Amino acid sequence: MNRTYELMFIVRPDMAEEDLDKLISTLETAVSTTSGTVKSVERMGKRRLAYTVRRFHEGVYILLTVEGTGTVIHELERRLRVTEPVIKFLSVRIDQEQKRLDKIKAIRDARKKTSAAPAAAPEGGGEAAPATA
Amino acid sequence: MAEETKAPTATAEGPGGSESHGPRPGGRGPRPGGPGGPREGGRKYFRRKKVCKFCVEKIENINYKDVRLLAQFVAESGKIVPRRLTGVCTPHQRRLSSAIKMARNIALLPFAGRAS
């Protein structure tokens, strides 16, 4: 069963750009070896941390959206825990929430359509009635 | 001797007690009928009815990444502001609090104290 996960992690601010590229590419290969797919990689840039983490006041935020089974996220979390420059990470399952949002959006759209075109419905009913009689 | 000592204390209490408390109910009595009447009977402070921000603005997506939105519902001390103060409805407060807790975990919001 495929699920969508969001993996946000913070690396130390003094990390070199090439090292970061390398880290991301290793994570991507780890995802593909565990039969998952990387949907998107977003670098949110350097941000100030709300509290000190390992004596750092700021960090580079990276957001990874991954699709796959639980083993993918398990492997990624293990890797992040082992990788020294990563100071914090958070993985969130987002497909359920997205499904809920889509449902709400569909309901709202349907409501808009019915309120926008209420005159069309009675006309169709009127035509159908004589045809059957 | 005993009567004399009792008498002054009684008289001293008399004017202080009866004069200060006596006229007040009488003085306030006519006011409700007067111009200041409605204010006296009802609440002194007019409070606007609180409404859920998420219901009004139709924000369904309460995400932990949206720090600006979440920060409105976090006190300066870092605490989550209770529903009775913000007026957020129960289902939204539930999502909001879990989003704030997630944001705290990834150092987007502070656990305690101002973000600094």
Predicted confidence band of residue A118 (pLDDT cuts 50, 70, 90): low
Give the residue, B89 or B49, on which the prediction is more confident: B89
Could you tell me if A94 lies within 8 Å of chain B, comparing CB atoms?
no
Give the residue, B36 or B69, on which the prediction is more confident: B69
Percentage of chain B lying above the pLDDT 70 cut: 58
Cross-chain residue pair B102–A49, CB shorter than 8 Å: no
- Do residues B69 and B94 share a domain? yes
- Do residues B7 and B33 share a domain? yes
Q: Is the pLDDT of residue B5 over 70?
A: no
Which amino acid is present at B109? Answer: L
Q: Is the pLDDT of residue B23 over 50?
A: no
| B111 in a structural domain | no
Query: Smallest CA–CA separation between A40 and chain B, in Å?
Result: 16
- Do residues B33 and B57 share a domain? no
- In what helix (H) or strand (E) does residue A45 lie, and over which residues does it extend? strand A37-53
Range with lowest mean pLDDT among A40-49, A82-91, B28-37: B28-37
Domain that holds residue B36: 2-41
Residue A65 pLDDT: 92
CB A91 within 8 A of CB A23: no
Q: Is the pLDDT of residue B114 over 80?
A: no
Report the domain count for chain B: 2
| B94 in a structural domain | yes
Q: Is the pLDDT of residue A131 over 80?
A: no
Number of residues written out for chain A: 133
**Whole-angstrom distance, CA of residue B92 vs CA of residue A109:** 21
State the best of A8, A9, A53, A80 to mutate against chain B, taking most chain B CBs within 10 Å: A8
- Do residues B72 and B95 share a domain? yes
Which amino acid is present at B13? Answer: E
Could you tell me if B52 lies within 8 Å of chain A, comparing CB atoms?
no
Let me know the angle formed at the C-alpha of A7 by B59 and A18, rounded to the nearest 5 degrees: 125
| B85 in a structural domain | yes
Span A54-91, pLDDT tens digits: 988 999 999 999 999 888 999 899 999 998 899 999 99
Domain spanning A3-97: which CATH class is it, in words? Answer: alpha beta
- Do residues B10 and B32 share a domain? yes
Q: b/e for A87-123, b at 16 or more Cβ within 10 A?
A: bbbbbbeeeebeeeeeeeeeeeeeeeeeeeeeeeeee
Q: Which value, to the nearest 10 degrees, does the dihedral of the CA atoms of residues A26, A28, A32, A35 take?
A: 120
Cross-chain residue pair A51–B64, CB shorter than 8 Å: no
Q: What is the largest CA-CA distance in chain A?
A: 83
| B22 in a structural domain | yes
Give the residue, A92 or B14, on which the prediction is more confident: A92
